[in-house]
Chain A
């Protein structure tokens, strides 16, 4: 059955009918792209495109036929073909509005619905209900500049549904509507032809200018260095052509009215695109999402990365095993990881393993907060190995003596982290973290592959389309470009994003300069005149609050309650005035006020205004905090009232502290047992809350747990008895119908508790030989190991899910038991026979090998020149090359696409190879140069003195010696191309040329697809993953060496 259906699908997808919907009617015909309304007017052609046409017709109230048949008549070939049938059926259920499916219609009330695409043996068909009023159809797959006529017949047909297949039997039909003949538009490809010459000329000009500049600089420099210029020329030239030129081109494009869909000659419209953008309510939404996204992710990354690195570096034995476990998820391609998370969490429409395990009801399609949070989680998990590596590098740079001294001096762990470790790793880690921020800021993969921007937001809609709760700046830009083909506007978005990135880049430059020289700040802290800055700030803020309260401005102040705006505004004004007269006294009040404001603003933002408006209060408050933190503390010589107030405050504080102290003396020495108990209690609470458990047993156990905690912190003997809680929990778990996931978590925590308990309670002196054995086994650092293990194993749960799906016979997402009940290799067989996966393997291999080889050729030459010669502008070039890396990705995508197009390199392996080869040049340069610096210079100098030419020295001496670094750089580029999604997705168009990532993506499609092919995807993922894991295990020493290299240098 599946195979038959597939054949039809293949046939049908060639000429696919997409019927789509837009939520609002718009006046401008040209902007109706992507989403079009089913309007209640009579039959008419809504839009004619280059390869598609949109039709709209009304269904009469007393329509007697059972459906419509759509026939396309190609006037040039005199050939008509039936493309699809729309069936009217009374017994269908209405699809949810968020589910973008293939048919849309309005019912008698004018509400809009989508219909689902179905397959039968002879036709694709869509089912609409009997009360349908109007239908809109988008017919794709037409030829460009070709005359067509669409004929619609009213049919009486019946659908015969068998067990295995369905077939449409057409019995009677009457012509319903024959459109006038129309000609499809010029295609985008043809429209672009004119700019081909322009691009060629520009590129030639760039080549010429570049060569001239190079020759001039080389002439100025000393003769011995000229060869260095020859060596760096290819790499720099590739970078200029494929990175710098697109960047500048993108900026130019942002000032033009360039729309690929309209196929007109672009003209300069100066700031019109930017004005359009600022008027677009989607910009602030995308901005907000990106900001929240970056902040959450960076904090999580830093926190988790530090914790993991700390545990690995200081807490556990057998570091190598942990390294391996940490790096193993790293080798799994990002796109597979993300898609497998999607499989695990979302499954098909919320029916997933995740929900089954935890008993939750997560659906990424309609829960904005959950979707954003989970997307952040996936992004963090994707990059955890990298950030942990960075922290590990930082930690291993701390001299071991320092931590020994800390131990000998009895400095507590907390203090030593806060006062020794963090200050020491900060200068090393900070530039790297800023790089991470830049990367997160421009991240694309998770938002695109995991949620595709869903869930959609009602206020994120305008004539340009709709924006979702997880649409980042990057995906939004991509959407603007890829779906809407509005190059000018997309380029303007990119430019804005570049400017924001530039800010971080400047910070990075400053930071890395600071760390180069020394650890100590070299300048004396400057005192600024805060007496002016703060009052002005506060006045502006006060005015802003009050005005926005009056006007109802939603980006500032308190939009959900204008009264609060007035109150806070006036308070700010008062404090501002006070600050002029009595700065010292009012600064405490100001701090308090700012904290209150921050709490209010954050509450407002996250609970009421998220995705509706970014609240700039938060930003302003943050800035003010920063200023206040720099004010030097001075002695209070305050007046009477304030003095009195302060005394009261001091008194209350003292009483609170003494009471706490009194309680503290009653406590016994707390240890890890108590910590584990608290963890257990909180997990119980969370699971009870999430499940909404009304089951009294689990709540009782939770109560018991709290009781045990309280009793055990006061008495040693109660602590001894706390172990009795565990059997109770187990019994509770046995009876409670909790989902399996929670049971597993509870059991793990319980075991950890028991082991900790035994470790603490066993008296070493009194035990026998056997117990001693147990004890030595248990002395294993269990808590750290369990934490690390759970962190690293979580990444493998979706992988197991994939594994299960790959071997299961049916196309289901949710595993029913640990191993598939009757495992089959059917999916793999299908991959090789039908999907021709070997071809795509070949494509990927060709692209990756080509790109890596090309990249290495350029990089090695340049790295040698950078390592051995002291030519002019060397330092600036190095930094420049590195900065360039920060601007790549989505920022240069659009212009790169156009350039490739104009060079005829779209849908061409060479284009993809070129695009990927420059991606890792900066990093590769850094790695190889670093390694070459460690090769004694005398080696190649003595080879040179023997009369060898520089190239021969490179070939005979340097190349063999720099082998490991070159291999790592090669692998780096290879993996980038092998795993690369975005560039290949954009630059390759015909299915036969797809690389593996694109092929795998087509199995699943984006999140809204109705029929993903889980089995194929899972099987293909395994096929991709397994060779990579094997390769990793073989090459791990090499890889670790390479990785260590740039950790030490603090750049990655």
Chain B
């Protein structure tokens, strides 16, 4: 089922949680809603689920407006962050509950599924999820992963049209998280249903998503595939948010036909970049480069025209297994540098780094990518 939101706005009192958001969630795909906390991602999810009513705008399922339908009339499944299993029901009862909840009829409502059908479905799902041995346990007797599986299983039995995930893995430890990601991908292949997945973790978003919607302060910043977001960020915020390490930024200024860095007024940028900047007509801006693409300057190799060199001091060294994350100081500006060399650095060491012009992103004064 195709899900669409159209100019959706939600205000809590004076605070605007979501502003004029329009997205089309393609059918049968996993769409990730990504953003820092407080950016309105869960609000979108709840608006789609029908748990919140928008201040303005519409929600459409397969081109029909469902804004006024409450949650119990939308046939949507939602997996919450804290796996809300009913604590007063056993695992089986938890799995049966959604099936028993399906009713038909206008005034005299009866169950849709017969007792045998319910039995069969519950049996199927518990064998699929490997929770047969926990059938008679209460949720408080289950481990975190088991709870999560039961919670997902409870939504699976219902055969809903749309799956909504509200940060389901944020309470799970790192090892289990990989397993669960794989699990969700498998599930998606199996069901081929529309899934909307909310997370604040960009690596999770990259790993799962067919499409990522990035939010900031209730506004949509960029929509695209994971690669697009990583290699082609449309703003400084996106560039900063996506990626394992924060992007490095240096501001520059264009003066008398020369492009200089603001910190030292040096002309380091290559001709190619300068031309590009001039063609866009920017006078002030920021250039960004990722920590992963920085190379250490090797005096034996000459630098070519496309590169520029920065002489820095090592401020801090963090060693994580085979990687070293160096915090460099370039005239008071912090630059992160990730390397896998075996060479040991210590504080106050001088180091020269080189960055290739192709790897530079240029942002204007309003932090837009140019």
Contact = CB atoms under 8 A, between A and B. Distances in A.
Is B one of A's binding partners?
Answer: yes
Q: Which one of B74, B88, B102 has the greatest number of beta carbons of chain A within 10 Å?
A: B88
Contacts of A81: none
Given A945-B72, A945-B78, A948-B72, A938 B84 contact: yes
Contacts of B84: 936, 938-939, 941-942
Interface in A918-968: 936, 938-939, 941-950, 952, 956-957, 960-961
A92 interface: no
A225 interface: yes
Interface in B34-81: 49-53, 68, 70-78, 80-81
Contacts of B154: 942
Nearest to B73: A947
A947 B103 contact: yes
A225 B70 CA distance: 10
Contacts of B80: 938, 941-942
A224 interface: yes
A222 interface: yes
B295 to A, nearest CB: 48
A936 B155 CA distance: 18
B78 A947 contact: no
A223 interface: yes
Contact of B53 (A225, A947, A950): A225
Q: Which one of A945, A949, A956 has the greatest number of beta carbons of chain B within 10 Å?
A: A945
Contacts of A957: 86
Given A936-B82, A941-B78, A946 B72 contact: yes
A817 to B, nearest CB: 55
A947 B102 contact: yes
Interface string A713-739: 000000000000000000000000000
A458 B49 CA distance: 75
A224 B73 contact: no
A947 B82 contact: no
Given A222-B53, A224-B53, A960-B88, A945 B71 contact: yes
B7 to A, nearest CB: 17
A939 B86 contact: yes
B87 A943 contact: no
Contacts of B101: 943, 946-948, 952
Contacts of B12: 870
Q: Which one of A225, A936, A942, A957 has the greatest number of beta carbons of chain B within 10 Å?
A: A942
A946 B158 contact: yes
Interface of B is mostly: loop
Nearest to A224: B53
Interface string A219-231: 0001111000000
Nearest to B112: A947
Q: Which one of B71, B81, B158 has the greatest number of beta carbons of chain A within 10 Å?
A: B71
A1013 to B, nearest CB: 51
Contacts of A222: 53
B345 interface: no
B309 to A, nearest CB: 53
A961 B81 CA distance: 20
Interface string A341-381: 00000000000000000000000000000000000000000
B76 A945 contact: yes
Given A936-B84, A956-B97, A944 B53 contact: no
A223 B97 contact: no
Contacts of A224: 50, 52-53, 70
Contacts of B88: 960-961
Contacts of B82: 936, 938
B240 to A, nearest CB: 31
Interface string B240-262: 00000000000000000000000
Contacts of A949: 72
A957 to B, nearest CB: 6
A683 B73 CA distance: 76
Q: Which one of A938, A948, A957 has the greatest number of beta carbons of chain B within 10 Å?
A: A938
Nearest to A223: B68
Contacts of B103: 947
Contacts of B81: 938
B52 A946 contact: no
Contacts of B78: 941-942, 945
Nearest to A948: B101
Contacts of B86: 939, 943, 957, 961
Interface in B130-184: 154-155, 158
A767 to B, nearest CB: 51
A945 B49 contact: yes
A1010 B102 CA distance: 71
A869 B32 CA distance: 28
A945 B80 CA distance: 12
Nearest to B157: A946
B71 A944 contact: yes
Given A957-B86, A960-B88, A961-B87, A943 B97 contact: yes
Contact of B77 (A223, A945, A960): A945
A1 to B, nearest CB: 62
Contacts of B52: 224
Nearest to A959: B88
Contacts of B77: 945
A946 B98 contact: yes
Interface in A846-876: 870
B352 to A, nearest CB: 51
Contacts of A961: 86-88
A330 B274 CA distance: 84
Nearest to B12: A870
Contacts of B51: 941, 944-945
A223 B50 CA distance: 11
Contacts of B102: 946-947
A945 B151 CA distance: 13
Contacts of A941: 49, 51, 71, 78, 80, 84
Interface string B81-125: 110101110000000011001110000000000000000000000
A224 B51 CA distance: 8
Contacts of A956: 97
Q: Which one of B52, B72, B73 has the greatest number of beta carbons of chain A within 10 Å?
A: B72
A942 B77 CA distance: 8
Contacts of B72: 944-950
Interface string A237-270: 0000000000000000000000000000000000
A1004 B154 CA distance: 64
Contacts of A942: 78, 80, 84, 154-155
Interface in A389-448: none
B207 to A, nearest CB: 25
A92 B202 CA distance: 102
B53 A223 contact: yes
Contacts of B71: 941, 944-945
A952 B97 CA distance: 11
A674 B96 CA distance: 72
Interface in A866-908: 870
B56 to A, nearest CB: 11
Nearest to A939: B84
B90 to A, nearest CB: 13
B97 A946 contact: yes
8 cross-chain pairs, A with B, having the tightest CB-CB distances, nearest first: A938-B84, A222-B53, A946-B98, A938-B80, A224-B53, A946-B101, A939-B84, A944-B71
27 contacts: A223-B70, A224-B52, A224-B53, A224-B70, A870-B12, A936-B82, A936-B84, A938-B82, A939-B84, A939-B87, A941-B49, A941-B51, A941-B71, A941-B78, A942-B78, A942-B84, A943-B101, A944-B70, A945-B49, A945-B51, A945-B76, A946-B98, A947-B72, A950-B72, A960-B88, A961-B86, A961-B88
Interface of B: 12, 49-53, 68, 70-78, 80-82, 84, 86-88, 97-98, 101-103, 154-155, 158
Given A941-B51, A943-B101, A947-B102, 10 more contacts: A870-B12, A941-B80, A944-B72, A945-B76, A945-B78, A947-B72, A947-B75, A947-B101, A957-B86, A961-B86
